[in-house]
Every structure is written in structure tokens, then in C-alpha cells.
Amino acid sequence: MLSQRQLFLQHIAQTSPEPLALQIEKGEGIYLTDHDGKKYIDLISGIAVSNLGHSHPKIIQAVNQQMQKHSHLMVYGEYIQYPQVKLAEKLISLLPQTLNTVYFTNSGAEATEGVMKLAKRTTGRTQLVSFKNSYHGSTQGALSLMGSEEFKTNFRPLLPDVLLLEFNNSEQLKEISNKTAAVFVEVIQAESGIIPAKKEWLNELRKKCNETGTLLVVDEIQTGFGRTGTLFAFEDYDIIPDILLIGKAFGGGLPLAAFVSSRELMKELSHHPVLGHISTFAGNPVCCAAALAALEVFQETHLLDKINEKENLLKNFKHSSLVEVRCKGLFCCFDFKDNNLTMRIIAEAIKNGVITDWFLFNAGAMRIAPPLIITKDELKLGLEKIYESIEKVI
């Protein structure tokens, strides 16, 4: 009989030559337990998803209760589904006034796709702008915006009329014009290894979009829901996006994303043509119930109260093999001097019971994004284990 590992390798389409292939039986809080009973500290949260840890009882309860009422009913937007309405109401209460209407999607990429269409539809323009090293999803539209030629080149032709500018470069903002429908930006670029936008630059970008009638789309799919120390990273920047992209931690562990904008913009999806964006499962009521529970837990438990102290623990991590540690909240990058060691250190840390990860566009760096519920002692232990793993590899 074939093992689960063999079946996984044979029947699950693989996207890398050497998948981690951890065989996880259970997730609870910050811990994952494999089929041999080995426990790992999860310092990566399924890539910034499990902000409340795994198997949160309130989320399980919300999912169970909603399943007993109903799961899928109808293609997005036709029926009034209470979990969607309650979730939208709650989310909007936490956002600036102009971000008052939600289009739910299943994934971040699907939200990016919807926004590209919305931007073209509402401005009558075709040009889209994004930045070098940005990541907005892997579907062909979202991929067209991606700031890495390596990941795009073999899938061309992609969307025409996409302009890629340098992140944090003020001079290049002059390329944005009254031909530009929308600019997509991450407030803190994740995949190049936690690179924050400069405050002044992001404000200049906001101003340029205002001057040219261009929509500013802020992608908080990875940074949202407390990851960087505030509910959304843009709160630190004195800007308000025209459209906000959210996903990952939003669903409390279930697949859910969204784009949020003003009622005036969103109504454009309902005519010329009608059904301007269609998705069968988007805003699935069970996912929305989980997301609502997650937001409630987020608020009730004051999850961000101790985040600065935890951020400092990460920031103060020192080892001679590191060039730099970059952190905002619990969104962190350990940048190693020798790029060739990173993968080995990550593998050694896993052996040592700590899960971290790498970045798509920065091969020399280690990604750390623990569940926000992690305690200081747990984080210290995780960091000790990383230190031991580095020592073992170098």
C-alpha cells in the first residue's frame, strides 16, 4: 500500500521540485502536530492566514452553527445571506467612511481581478500600474501586475498596457497620467522581504492619483488584520485607498477575500454589462461566518495590545550570519549574508520543531509571521530554536 506521502507526490499536482511535505494531523493555537506526534511551533501562519492560531474554538463554533443553517445557496449577490451582510457591516465599521461597500471573493487573486475590471469600467481607461517586486496574485490578470519578470516571462502574452514602476521612487510617479486607470500598491511589500513604502512616497502617490483621476488600490491581502501592528498597514500612512484588497487572515482560516470601495464605484458592476463580475462561491456563508467570528475575536481579545513587545523580540534577534532584520508588527524578515544558507536553515529549523518560510523574490531571506496570539515566551522559544538551527548550518 502506498503511503500518504507517496500518494501526495503522485496525485497532488506539485508546484516545486521539493515540497515540504509535512504530514500534519492537527493544528491548535500556534502548534502543528505531524503524523508521528511531533509538535512544531508555527511561525508562519500558513503565510499570514492563521492570525488567531489554528482551530480557534469561536471560529469552529461559528462554522458549525452556519453549516447547520445552510452553506452555499446561490451565485454571489443574488440572495440576502446574513453572514455576508453582518460581516460587511462589521468590516465597514472599522474602515474609513468612503470604504463602505464590499465585493467578496474566494481568493486574493480573484479580488485583484475584480478590481482590474472595476478600474477599467469606471475610468474608461486601460493602463494599470504596479511596482517592481509586488505580488497581487497568480491568475493571468493579477500575474500581469506582478513585479518579477522571472515569474511572468513564460506565461506571456499577459495583459497589455501594464506599467511597472520602481517602488519608493518619487521620480517615476510622473509616469502615472490621465491614461492610468489604477495603481496597485502594497504598503509593505512582502515578497521582496518586508520592504515598507516610505511615508512621503505613498503620500506623493496618493496625490498623483488624485491629480490624474487614477484609482489607488491598496493591497492588504497579506498585511491586513493586525499583521503589522494595526488593523491595516495603511492606517500608519495618513492615506485612504480608493479600493482596498483583503484576503488571507480575513477568513479566519477559511477561503475568503474581498475588495472594498465606495458605493458609487461598486454600482458600476451592476450595469453595462450587468453582472460585471461573477463568482459562484464568492462570499460563501460558512466562510463569512468564520470571518465574522475572527473579527469579533480580534476585537474582544485586544490582540494587538502586546504586539510591540513581540515585535521588539523579533527586531532584537541577532546573529553574525544576518545582514539585517526587518519587521513591522509580526511581519518579519531575517536577511542572511549568504543566500545559499537560507533554505538549509529553514529545513534545519523544521527538524528542530519550528516552521518558517522563504520569500518569492528574495531567496536569501527567512520569512517569519507567527499567529498574533503567540505569547512572548513562545516567541522566545521559537527564536532560540532558529538560533540553534543557524548555528548548526553555518
Q: Summarize as ranges the residues that interact with ligand PMP (CB under 6 A).
A: 107-109, 135-137, 186, 190, 219, 221-222, 247, 257
Nearer to ligand PMP by Cβ, of 327 and 390: the residue is: 327
Question: What residue number has its CB nearest to ligand PMP?
Answer: 108
Q: Specify whether the CB–CB gap between 277 and 114 falls below 8 A.
A: yes
My answer on whether omega of the bond before 157 falls inside 30° of 0, hence cis, is yes
Min CB(246)–ligand PMP separation in Å: 10
**Residue 181 neighbours by CB distance under 10 Å:** 24
Nearer to ligand PMP by Cβ, of 82 and 151: the residue is: 151
Min CB(191)–ligand PMP separation in Å: 7
For residue 32, list its beta bridge partners: 27, 40
* 382 grid coordinates: 521559537
| Residue 81, amino acid | Q
Nearer to ligand PMP by Cβ, of 243 and 313: the residue is: 243
Q: Specify whether the CB–CB gap between 190 and 219 falls below 8 A.
A: no
Min CB(250)–ligand PMP separation in Å: 10
Min CB(186)–ligand PMP separation in Å: 5
Nearer to ligand PMP by Cβ, of 29 and 224: the residue is: 224
CA distances from 199 to 164, 168, 188, 328 (A): 20, 9, 11, 14
Min CB(355)–ligand PMP separation in Å: 17
Min CB(282)–ligand PMP separation in Å: 12
Instruction: Please classify residue 240 by burial: count the beta carbons closer than 10 Å to its beta carbon, then call 0-12 exposed, 13-18 middle and 19+ buried.
Output: middle
Q: Within 13 Å of residue 87, how many CA atoms lie on the same side as its CB?
A: 29
Nearer to ligand PMP by Cβ, of 257 and 293: the residue is: 257
Q: Specify whether the CB–CB gap between 324 and 332 falls below 8 A.
A: no
Distance CA 172, CA 147 (A): 15
Nearer to ligand PMP by Cβ, of 228 and 389: the residue is: 228
